[in-house]
Amino acid sequence: MYFFFSPGSDLRADKPENWRLSRIGTVGVSAGSSNTLWNRLRQHRGNVRGKYAGGGNHRGSIFRLHVGRALIEKHGWHDEQPHWGDQNPDAETTAVREQEHELERRVSEYIRDLPFLWVDVPGDPGPECDRAEIESHTIAMVSHHRRSAGPSDLDWLGYHSPKSEVYQSGLWNVRHVSDSFDPLVVGQLSEYILSTEALDHQSRI
């Protein structure tokens, strides 16, 4: 599982209560899934090299899709980005990819600057695995708190999102933001945090 925080969250200097979650996600919640955590994070990060270096593919990352839509709303780029989010084959042409590259690059710049943490939650892929349960309940829990307490980071890009689920929850999430949650998920997640081993300092996404 992974937990992204807002740009202003300093995970080294700030106290944890001052960290602000902005995206909760995981992999392996569909039966037979072979995707890995690090591959998913690379999809969010975007391309480091190749023809579209510095950019990415928002059609393969819902996180990138939401960030791009918020940037379009914030800067009024609707005419420049008429195909953003289109899933039809015509939106995959070279001309469209080239047209979208500048925005994809800006999305990559935003996401790459976000601090994040990860937690090892092992188990076979499937909708009943602990990863799926923890993801849904933590999203619902954080969203419920945000809706009750109101915004705490007025500069957060997500408040420009056209998706009500995003700007009302304060998360780059849409699914589960209105669900009920079990507070016991905190203890369940805490156990996996304690059992997660630190990465080698040379590990790279």
Tens digits of per-residue pLDDT, 60-88? 999 999 999 999 999 999 999 999 998 87
**Are 180 and 105 contacting, i.e. CB atoms less than 8 angstroms apart?**
no
pLDDT at 153: 74
What is the distance between the alpha carbons of residues 97 and 84, in angstroms, rounded to a whole number?
10
pLDDT at 128: 87
pLDDT at 92: 64
pLDDT at 88: 73
Give me the helix-helix angle, 94-112 and 62-75, nearest 10°: 90
Q: Please name the helix (run of DSSP H) or strand (run of DSSP E) that holds residue 5, with its range, or none.
A: strand 2-5
pLDDT at 149: 67
Burial per residue of 30-69, b for 16 or more beta-carbon CB atoms within 10 angstroms, e otherwise? eeeeeeebeebbbbbbbbeeeebebbbbbbebbbbbbbbb
Tens of pLDDT, residue by residue over 137-166, are: 999 999 988 877 666 677 899 999 999 999
Please list the ranges in the chain whose pLDDT falls under 70. Answer: 89-92, 149-152, 200-205
**Are 167 and 161 contacting, i.e. CB atoms less than 8 angstroms apart?**
yes
Query: DSSP string spanning 85-138?
Result: T--SGGGGSHHHHHHHHHHHHHHHHHHHTS-EEE------SSTTSHHHHHHHHH
What is the distance between the alpha carbons of residues 124 and 168, in angstroms, rounded to a whole number?
33
pLDDT at 81: 94
Unique residue bearing structure tokens 């929850």 = 169
What is the distance between the alpha carbons of residues 101 and 109, in angstroms, rounded to a whole number?
12
